Structure 1
Amino acid sequence: MVGKGRAIAVVKPGTLDEALRVLKACVAADTAIIPQGAKTGLTGGSVPRGSGCDRPSVVINMRRLEKILPIGAGQQVLCFAGAGIFSLQEALKPLKRDSHSVLGSIFLNPSVAAGIAFGSGGTQVHKGPAYTDRALFCRITEGGEVELVNTLGLKTPTGQEIIPFLDGATELSASDADPACQRAASWPNYPEHVTSCDGKVSRYCSDLAGEDCNRSEGKVLILATIHDTFPLPRENKFVWISCKDFATANLLKRKVALSSPDCLPKQFEYLGRAQFDCCDRGGRVLIKLIELLGMMNLSGLWNFKLKFEALPIPFVNVLADKVLWYLNPVFPESLPKQLMQQGRDYNHHLIMEMTEFGGGELKRLEALLESVLADLPEGQAKSYVCKDAFESSRVMLFRFAVQPSIRTMAVGTGRQGLIIDYAMPKNFDRILELPEDWGIEMRCLCSHFGCNVFHESLVLRNDVDAEAMKKKIKKFIESSGGKLPAEHGHGTEYAAPEDTQQRWRRIDPRNCMNPGVGQTSCLRHYG
């Protein structure tokens, strides 16, 4: 978790009623309030401010509010604010449904509400970013009152308020949903949006669409949300496609992955050659640990690593990654031998998960892919279909190792790294060229390619000011038509644009909630 600060208290409510009462007490005591989930953020958006705030801070950690209630047969689900993405996936499996979002940090079980608050995206092409207009949340009025906003669209028994109803609920039937509520519980028409090759950006953190809970970044306190769920595929198949140039990769995206809104792959990811080499040189130990311990058993080791690196001992903050770097060559390569060779023979790589839902989607995608590949010059691209579930899991673990491996490599080689995420317009069909004189020694590029959202890990010369470089890159990306950040939130790392700041000032006029987010003022009334 990025950021460091001091709070006079960390409160962990166990019911919605407790959360509401804690919030009212904090407002009455004139404290700054920091809503917090699983603490998995990458931009410092749920950490008390280190300095500059004119009031003491109280953290309201929502993690104990983990209730998950499928509605009826499970086409929709209600989640309390602390419910985790992985927990939601597991709860929906018996209903043969899938959650609204899948993130790279799923092994840390990030909270559903944080996904809404920060507009997280993930790897699923057809789902869009975390979004809902059906929510229960609190905002602080200009007069210092706590206002409860309820757009859930649920009916409660006569005379019962929504909070005691939900606190006591153990299940929700289809009859509990108000048929008159037409509010969206996922991004409206996202498949049509993502497949239209226009000059718009598919998703980004300063998008103002929807209810105030969306991309609020802690300026309201989210209590519960309702989300659409998705059917689990009947069959899936992973294919790794390697290309000689980026133009070929983009051709495959347009003619195969985004050819039709009703026949999208589940995942369509991009890896550049430098990122491929980085994952191989810095991620083997991590991948082997996941294989041995399981994805969800890794969180304990990860949290131990973070606590160890925070100890006030010289060089302890780099010791773990130094060890990982020197251990890495001892471990075997993470991908099948044929795929490793293919990764070294080509410079651009696509990972596509094709799925079948009963409408012939998988066969249609396979036919499209075969047709486009057949029309390419010999050697221009090469595909590898994973033979079984084990090989498929290795491919996705390799993709999962992207961000941890860049830190391991940067620390291991004694250089500094910088991670940024940004979205380019859907019709932007090349790799953004950064100026050569900026002191960037290596660019490790990967992408949620279907959405044109890029995650870039930069290795900088040690004499480069990383914070100044981050601001310079943000300005450059925006001048090129892109948006930054795309899915990690502004937190305290990025200055939010003026229209986003105006929205936050409207929903939190006293600046009680998460002051300083988006590099806004930490003072009362944004002084």
Structure 2
Amino acid sequence: GGVANNAGGALCKRGSSYTEFALYARVNEEGTLELIDHLGIRNLGETPEEILTRLENGDFTDADLIDDGRAASDTDYVNRIRDLDATVPNRYNADPKRLYEVSGSAGKVACFAVRVDTFAVPKSKQVFILGTNDPDHFVTMRRHILGTFEHLPEMGEYMNRATFTAAEKYAKDVALAIKYLGTDRLPRAYALKAKAEYLLNKIPFLPKYLPDIFLYYVSKLFPQHLPQRLRQYRDDYEHLLILVTADEAIEEARRYLEDDWGRTEGVGFFECSEREQEAALLHRFSAAGAGIRYQNLHQRTTQEVLALDIALLSNDPEWVEELPEEITKDMVLDLSYGHYMCHVFHNIYVYRKEADLERIKTLMLERLEARGAKFPAEHNVGHLYEAEPVVKDFHRQLDPTNTFNPGIGKTSKRRR
């Protein structure tokens, strides 16, 4: 899913999921299903059955792996993220340089396997929490780090105050589940929740998304899960950044924060303890579902969330957008979080029932497009966004008969 959807991620050094090594099936121009083996593994066999069986059984060795110069990750991303005056965003779904066979295919082929690069686990890690009430302070910090640091941080995760508070209240169960159940058990837990939700939603007199409502109230029985210093920074500052550094980057970041940025009036920072570090990262992860949970709990008075996945130009100073009253008058929740060093943001809006959501979305996207932003940034177009011409052409080449996943990107659902 990650490679097929150009999925991004939080890491400053890696960019979007990307590879040129893949095994996949497609329907060709004649309407015939064919298996394309570009996985770069020798001796898997000649027929699709042989290839898939040996691959599934792991019937190959390291000696069978082919290294022929093709890329298995976005190897140029570190250079792009440092280009502070680029005329296009650092990473976005429609980047033609990142559309290659399975990469960016968005369901237009059936992918069986990919090969991707692996990366060494850092020996040490340190998280810093930064806060400010002036967005320009973060602009200065970002440009300095990307423009001068020898060693880039691992992540720079942004949250506005509203996101922090919403996640604290409405996504507490997610943070607790990850902490106590672990990520290995989480998929099964979510599958059970989805099954229960599907069945309960069929009962007319029950509210929709009853498991979400239940988990929200259960989470209130648990004690406060966020350390005091994190909550104090939320109270003191409108804008928060979780700066994750590793190995050589730790001391470089510490020196800059202590000797330069931290001396600026109106800002603050602190080094996290291990407990604060874990809590901050869990909180940022759980924030992704806070807007949906809020809407589920207020479904009688609000519409489904309006979620925008945005890649801004690296030199766009207005990353905190001032929206006109026409857009904000019926808004009840405004959440913003994202990958700040990459200038990729997820803006989540909840509106009252009477709002014209389609018109509001159109107005928002027009404003963003005028500033050179791209959307979606790190998800595929699905049925929410109109695909750019380069994406439509790419999907047409992959799936000339429009057999797989027809209609995505607001294209035709008819067979060609």
Q: TM-score, normalised by structure 1?
A: 0.71
Q: Is the aligned partner of 1:479 residue 2:370? A: yes
- The 1:261/1:140 distance shift into structure 2, 3 A limit, reads farther
> Are the equivalent residues in 2 in contact too, given 1:285–1:331 (CA < 8 A)?
no
1:384 alignment partner in structure 2: 270
Identity of matched residues, %: 29
**Alignment length (residue pairs):** 403
Q: Extract unaligned runs of 5+ from structure 2.
A: none
Structure 1 unmatched ranges of 5 or more: 1-113
Task: Tell me the residue number matched to 1:231.
Answer: 120
What is the match of residue 82 of structure 2?
A: 195
Question: Map of 1:145-160 to 2, 5 A cutoff?
Answer: 145-156=32-43, 160=46
The code of the aligned residue for 1:386 comes to C
Q: 1:206 to 1:374 in 2, by over 3 A?
A: closer
Q: Answer whether contact 2:127 2:245 (CA < 8 A) is retained.
A: yes
Deviations 1:260-287 (A, max 9, x none): 5751111110011111111122122332
3-state SS, counterpart of residue 277 of structure 1? helix
The higher relative CO (CA closer than 8 Å, separation ≥ 6) is in: 2
State the 1:468 CA deviation. Answer: 4.4
Within-5 A mapping of 1:353-372 = 353-356=244-247, 360-372=248-260
Closer, same or farther: CA 465–364 of 1 in aligned 2, 3 Å:
same
AA paired with 1:352?
A: L
Alignment match, 2:136: 247
In 1, Cα distance between equivalents of 2:16 and 2:26: 23
Show CA shifts across 1:409-430 (max 9, x none).
2333443332221111111122
Per the TM alignment, residue 294 of structure 1 is displaced from its structure 2 partner at its CA by 2.2
Match of 1:443 in 2: 334
Counterparts in 2 of 1:160 and 1:139: CA distance versus 1, 3 Å: closer
Instruction: Identify which range, 396-405 or 469-478, moves more after superposition.
Output: 469-478
Cα displacement string for residues 362-412 of structure 1 (whole angstroms, at most 9, x for unaligned residues): 2222222222234412xx211121212x32211111111112222222333
Distance in 2, Cα, partners of 1:164 & 1:261: 50
AA partner of residue 113 (structure 2): A
Q: Distance in 1 between matches of 2:405 and 2:352?
A: 34
Normalised to the residue count of structure 2, the TM-score between the two structures is 0.89
**Structure-2 change in CA distance of 1:187 and 1:136 (3 Å):** same
What corresponds to 1:215 in structure 2?
104
Residue 455 of structure 1, CA deviation: 0.7
- Counterparts of 2:54 and 2:149 in 1: how far apart (Å)? 40
Q: Secondary structure at the match of 1:317?
A: coil
Secondary structure at the residue paired with 2:353? Answer: coil
Q: CA deviation at 1:467?
A: 4.3
**Which residue of structure 2 aligns with residue 93 of structure 1?**
none
- Aligned-CA RMSD value: 2.3
CA contact 2:14–2:75 (8 Å) conserved in 1: no
Partner of 2:312: 424
Q: State the match for 1:498 in structure 2.
A: 389
Q: Given that residues 191 and 261 in structure 1 are in contact (C-alpha distance below 8 angstroms), is that contact kept between their aligned partners in structure 2?
A: no
Counting only pairs closer than 5 Å after superposition, residues 147-186 of structure 1 correspond to structure 2 as 147-156=34-43, 160=46, 164-165=50-51, 167-168=53-54, 170=58, 172-179=60-67, 181-186=68-73
Mapping 1:70-469, distance limit 5 Å: 114-156=1-43, 160=46, 164-165=50-51, 167-168=53-54, 170=58, 172-179=60-67, 181-197=68-84, 198-209=86-97, 210-256=99-145, 258-260=146-148, 262-310=150-198, 311-314=201-204, 315-327=206-218, 329-356=220-247, 360-377=248-265, 380-388=266-274, 390-413=275-298, 414-416=301-303, 417-430=305-318, 431-438=320-327, 439-469=330-360
Q: Any idea what the Cα deviations from partners look like across 1:175-198, whole Å, max 9, x if unmatched?
A: 32334x111111131101111102
2:156·2:341 contact (CA, 8 Å) conserved in 1? yes
Q: Does the CA-based 8 Å contact 2:230-2:280 persist in structure 1?
A: no
Deviation at 1:444, TM superposition (A): 0.7
Alignment of 1:510-521 (within 5 A): 510-521=401-412
The one-letter code of the counterpart of 1:496 is A
